Amino acid sequence: METVEHLQAALAAPLFTSLEAIRAQSPRTLAIPETKGDADSALALRMQGLWPVFGDASAGAPFRHYQREIDMGTDRDRFDDTGDGLPLMEGRMIDQYEHRAKAYRSGRGRAAVWELLPFGHPGKAIVPQWRVPLDRIPRKLGNRTSLYRVVWCDVATPTAPRSLIAALVPPNVICGDTCPTMRFPDDYEWAYMPWLAVANSFCMDFLARRKISLHLKYTQMDSLPFPRFTITDAFVQKVTPLALRLTCTSTEMTGYWNAMSAHGWCEAIPGEGSPPGFFEPDERDDARYRIDALVVRDVFHLNRVELDFVLDSFEAFRKTEVKETGEYRTKILIMRCFDQCE
């Protein structure tokens, strides 16, 4: 029979991680990953080894191009609140597949007030705290602010409900250091959607939170395993239409939507209309559950027991959902989608 003494002894026992495992999961920094035990480490190591790390330029196209667009500290003289210039995006404005999750209302610094903007909110738009006049945009950016690119939230902890939060941002915005940006070459703009599908999955989050403490920097992102997809891959064909409809929910995304229509994933929109993305909470949730199930099966090749383990590791997320709905609904529905995957 287990006793308190047995539990204390187990907690006091050292956990060993091999040098090979450290090199596999953090090849550049040799950071020791967080772990909850042998089963956790073994599963993470197997998942990590399935694909090349994101920063491996030799793994094939597309290769990412990072850039720090503007620094909220050292570039403070470049932005103001006069209402002119490009909106300055901050990490708190971003959610998974969402570039307009919150709007600035008042205050500064830690006293700043931000309002959550659910779909259907009459004021849902890009509402920044600061703007950068066009003549103050750093020259190093070239035409970057006229392009679509991926952002993720730099501020991240392994105990938060979710740690890896990424989205596509439109042209005519500039991103602060709390939401770093990444671009693929022009011929690979289609790859943003399958990349976001993997990045925003519970599986990738499971790996990411082993590597972070307070921030998700370029080095940690580069150490994560990402497939190098081709446009004809079955996974790409299945998840891209779903990711498109999660991402393209405003007129800022019409250009990207229309560009993707050339590949047959959606129908082009004439004029300046808004893409017919997913706006209702239930349809957005359903799309995300289906994407997660496909990532589990086709990217990380987990079985049902392993999927159960991964989802249960998100303790804060589970506790919040159980408190709000009475059950771990996300887990139930992802498991159901996984069982129904074709």
The model's pLDDT over 177-194, given as tens digits with 9 standing for 90+, comes to 999 999 999 999 999 999
The answer to whether residue 208 sits within a structural domain is yes
Nearest 5°: CA angle at 339, between 336 and 341? 105
Tens digits of residue pLDDT in 216-235: 999 999 999 999 999 999 99
The answer to whether residue 269 sits within a structural domain is yes
The answer to whether residue 17 sits within a structural domain is no
Domain count, the chain: 1
The answer to whether residue 173 sits within a structural domain is yes
Q: Cα–Cα distance between 177 and 269 in angstroms, integer? A: 33
Q: Cα–Cα distance between 317 and 159 in angstroms, integer? A: 9
Which of 98, 105, 202, 93 has the alpha carbon at shortest distance from 154? 93
- Which tokens is 141 given? 């950016």
Q: Cα–Cα distance between 258 and 238 in angstroms, integer? A: 18
Burial of 10 (0-12, 13-18, 19+ CB in 10 A): exposed
Question: For residue 84, what pLDDT is reported?
Answer: 87
> Taking the chain, what is the end-to-end CA distance rounded to the nearest angstrom?
44
User: DSSP characters for 255-311?
Assistant: HHHHHHHTTTSS----TTPPP----SHHHHHHHHHHHHHHIIIIIS---HHHHHHHH
Q: Cα–Cα distance between 65 and 99 in angstroms, integer? A: 20
Domain that holds residue 287: 23-340
Which of 239, 200, 204 has the alpha carbon at shortest distance from 98? 200
The answer to whether residue 134 sits within a structural domain is yes
Preceding omega of 62 cis (within 30 degrees of 0): yes
Question: For residue 16, what pLDDT is reported?
Answer: 47
Q: How many residues belong to the chain?
A: 342
The answer to whether residue 4 sits within a structural domain is no
Dihedral, 256, 292, 68, 184 alpha carbons, nearest 10: -50
The answer to whether residue 13 sits within a structural domain is no
Percent of the chain with pLDDT strictly greater than 70: 89
Q: What is the CATH number of the domain that holds 119?
A: 3.90.220.10
Question: For residue 34, what pLDDT is reported?
Answer: 52
The answer to whether residue 41 sits within a structural domain is yes
Question: For residue 39, what pLDDT is reported?
Answer: 81
Tell me the mean pLDDT per 10 residues along the chain, length 342: 52 49 50 58 95 96 95 93 92 97 94 95 95 96 97 95 98 96 96 98 97 94 97 98 97 97 95 91 97 98 97 97 96 96 72
